[in-house]
Structure 1
Amino acid sequence: MKLATLKDGTRDGRLIVVKRDSSAYALATSVALTLQNALDDWQRAEPQLRAVAEQLEAGTVQSRPLDVNQLLAPLPRAYEWVDGSAFLNHVILVRKARNAEPPPTLKTDPLVYQGGSGEFLAPTADIPLADEAWGLDFESEVCAILGDTPQGTKAAEAGQHIRLVMLCNDVSLRNLIPDELAKGFGFFQSKPATAFSPFAVTPDELGAAWKEGRLHLRVRSTLNGQLVGDTDAGEMHFSFPELIQHISKTRGFTAGTILGSGTVSNEDRSRGISCLAERRMIETIDEGKPKTPFMKPGDTIQIEALDASGHSLFGRISQKVVKR
């Protein structure tokens, strides 16, 4: 099942069910007005939404052509946005970029931070940039939307709390990060609004591509029309259930919490990058200094994941940097 949120002039939009080929949609407001409403009452809403999806595929419900430009993020705002860093190659490279060593618990204790969730960018929304010196970077990631998740949830049980899967562009301002982290209190100004893919899909919709709590697909990043990354998302060191076990150690999470994988990253350099910080670090290792600039107004980034038939399962994040 594939869900999305249609712009309607309100902050939270209207919930729609999207056809598998992404060509059309049906309103789901008879089941739940918004995706958050559906998540809050998932036991009731989920089978009814599946019924709408079946009718949409069969052509027995009123449908309309889909225009991705009319969509908000699947959750235009959320109770919590928790981002991990489950791809260890990324952790190692970006730590090197700021002359920091990886933590000694790198392979046993996931890194996470809590980002702003009051306003997310639509999949085709511009990325505003007030100052090029801040070092704007894209980060291509996989995300899970959780249902109510109790404190103390173990990895073996955590999969049942994953309601939907989607992609994101976790925008970063790289040149602001070192000074913020030096204060010992974490990210804040260096993490502006995140953008999400047009569609959020149930794990069963992914078939064999969803196993062991990981998305086994390539995540493609296209910068200014050039494919710069075709990275394997299945190489997550920590699975989503393992991340859930980590974050729920001391508190529970409400339905609508979004959990990110961190930047998709592979040791195999031939697969490219999912953020510019990695390319710059590789240049530093190979050539002594970085030469690739961060993003500037006019630059574009597209992020998507294709299935075996070339279909864009989550739709495409397609954004342009604009001067604010």
Structure 2
Amino acid sequence: MKLATLKNGGRDGTLVVVSKDLQSAVLANNIAATMQYAMDHWDEVATPLADLYEALNSGKVDNAFAFHPADCHSPLPRAYQWADGSAYVNHVELVRKARGADMPPEFWHDPLMYQGGSDSFVPPTASIDVFNTEWGVDLEGEVAVITGDVPMGSTTEQAASHIRLLMLVNDVTLRNLIPAELAKGFGFFQSKPATAFSPVAITPDELGTHWQDSRVTLPLSVHVRNELFGQPDCGTDMVFNFADLIAHVAKTRELEAGSIVGSGTISNVDRSSGSACIVEKRMLETIETGKPVTPYLQAGDTIRIEMFDEDGHSLFGAIEQVVRVIPRP
């Protein structure tokens, strides 16, 4: 099934069920008022929500209305946990190589994770607001899962059973703020502003055969400045699958229902597929020519992140954002 959150209804919005073709929706408030409520009570509400989804797709819902991504917040406007990984180790290796840093061999068998800010996400069509584009504004096209309750110490096999929904991600990064932060030895913070997620979250069964071994096996379409920037395949070169990432987070803590775990930037060893972030292209340019050519995002630049099924239908709707320089308060 497909679920979304409308902006109205307070900070946590209003849950709706969305049709398979993303053309219509129906309120789900008689089942679950918010996405977080649905996550907290998944065993009770999953079947009624699926029944409503089937009725909507069959044209048997009287109170359906047109679905518009611009009316949506991120599926979870805020979450108890947002942990982002680097499952595509090729991406990590490229970035480190370009700045002259060796990659420790353990990165191939022990996932990298950082804990992002989750108190406030931004809607999928909201602007990317910054005070200064000299901070090096970049996008990161990713996939993420929303989990149910995950007990501490869960194995990879156990973790897989707790995956509830999938979303697309734009994990905005301010590249020029990263070096000073990492030099402190304490990880990202200021360099990782608010994240945006796709208008729609979907259950894994919506992917059919393209959900395999806790991986999505479809390309992610990324446009930058209205031009195709990359279509890397999400299943190729994903060293750690989502179950691996969840189990890694759960090694020393439990995850509460509604926790979000991201894949990290989608990246393929085969460079013909392009990139899902600007820094990767800049790193390849640096490796090949000695200096980067492609600029980071500037005021007025646009990005679009989307995924299509084999018939060319959008699965999650698109993340569409424009960079906006705003005055300080």
Q: Note whether the superposition's TM-score is higher than 0.5.
A: yes
**For the superposition of Structure 1 and Structure 2, which TM-score range results when normalised by the shorter chain?**
over 0.9
- Between the aligned partners of 2:225 and 2:7, the Cα distance in structure 1 is 27
**What is the aligned partner in structure 2 of residue 7 from structure 1?**
7
In the TM superposition, what whole-angstrom CA distance separates every residue of 1:200-236 from its partner, at most 9, and x where no partner exists?
0001111001010000000010011100101000021
**What is the aligned partner in structure 2 of residue 172 from structure 1?**
173
**What is the aligned partner in structure 1 of residue 138 from structure 2?**
137
- Between the aligned partners of 1:177 and 1:96, the Cα distance in structure 2 is 16
In the TM superposition, what whole-angstrom CA distance separates every residue of 1:103-135 from its partner, at most 9, and x where no partner exists?
220111000000000110101000001111110
**What is the aligned partner in structure 1 of residue 97 from structure 2?**
96
**What is the aligned partner in structure 2 of residue 114 from structure 1?**
115
- Between the aligned partners of 2:9 and 2:235, the Cα distance in structure 1 is 37
Q: How does 1:122-271 map to 2 (within 5 A)?
A: 122-235=123-236, 236-271=238-273
**What is the aligned partner in structure 2 of residue 313 from structure 1?**
315
Give the residue type in structure 1 aligned to 2:36: Q
Q: Quick check: 1:86–1:262 contact (8 Å CA) kept in 2?
A: yes
Deviation at 1:243, TM superposition (A): 0.9
- In percent, how many aligned pairs have the same letter? 54
Give the residue type in structure 1 aligned to 2:30: S
In the TM superposition, what whole-angstrom CA distance separates every residue of 1:48-72 from its partner, at most 9, and x where no partner exists?
1011101101212120011111000
Instruction: Please report the TM-score for the alignment, with normalisation by the length of structure 1.
Output: 0.99
- Between the aligned partners of 1:315 and 1:55, the Cα distance in structure 2 is 21
Deviation at 1:7, TM superposition (A): 1.4
Q: Quick check: 1:295–1:321 contact (8 Å CA) kept in 2?
A: yes
Q: Quick check: 1:158–1:245 contact (8 Å CA) kept in 2?
A: yes
- Between the aligned partners of 2:215 and 2:49, the Cα distance in structure 1 is 24
In the TM superposition, what whole-angstrom CA distance separates every residue of 1:257-313 from its partner, at most 9, and x where no partner exists?
000000000011110000000000000011111111110110000001111000110
Deviation at 1:43, TM superposition (A): 0.4
- Between the aligned partners of 1:59 and 1:313, the Cα distance in structure 2 is 19
**What is the aligned partner in structure 2 of residue 288 from structure 1?**
290
Give the residue type in structure 1 aligned to 2:84: D
Give the residue type in structure 1 aligned to 2:276: S
Please identify, of 57-66 and 136-145, the stretch whose mean Cα deviation from structure 2 is larger. Answer: 57-66
Give the residue type in structure 2 aligned to 1:50: A
Q: Quick check: 2:15–2:27 contact (8 Å CA) kept in 1?
A: yes
Instruction: Please report the TM-score for the alignment, with normalisation by the length of structure 2.
Output: 0.97
SS of the residue 1:259 aligns to: strand
Q: Quick check: 2:98–2:284 contact (8 Å CA) kept in 1?
A: no
SS of the residue 1:244 aligns to: helix
User: What is the RMSD of the two structures over their aligned residues, measured on CA atoms?
Assistant: 0.8
2:58 equivalent to 1:24: no
Give 5+ residue unaligned stretches, structure 1: none
Q: Quick check: 1:97–1:277 contact (8 Å CA) kept in 2?
A: no
Give the residue type in structure 1 aligned to 2:202: V
SS of the residue 2:182 aligns to: helix
**What is the aligned partner in structure 1 of residue 50 from structure 2?**
50
Deviation at 1:96, TM superposition (A): 2.2
SS of the residue 1:234 aligns to: coil
- Between the aligned partners of 2:165 and 2:100, the Cα distance in structure 1 is 37
Deviation at 1:9, TM superposition (A): 4.9
**What is the aligned partner in structure 1 of residue 82 from structure 2?**
81
Q: Quick check: 1:19–1:25 contact (8 Å CA) kept in 2?
A: yes
Give 5+ residue unaligned stretches, structure 2: none
Give the residue type in structure 2 aligned to 1:133: E
- Between the aligned partners of 1:216 and 1:161, the Cα distance in structure 2 is 19
Q: Quick check: 1:281–1:290 contact (8 Å CA) kept in 2?
A: yes
Give the residue type in structure 1 aligned to 2:302: T
**What is the aligned partner in structure 2 of residue 297 from structure 1?**
299
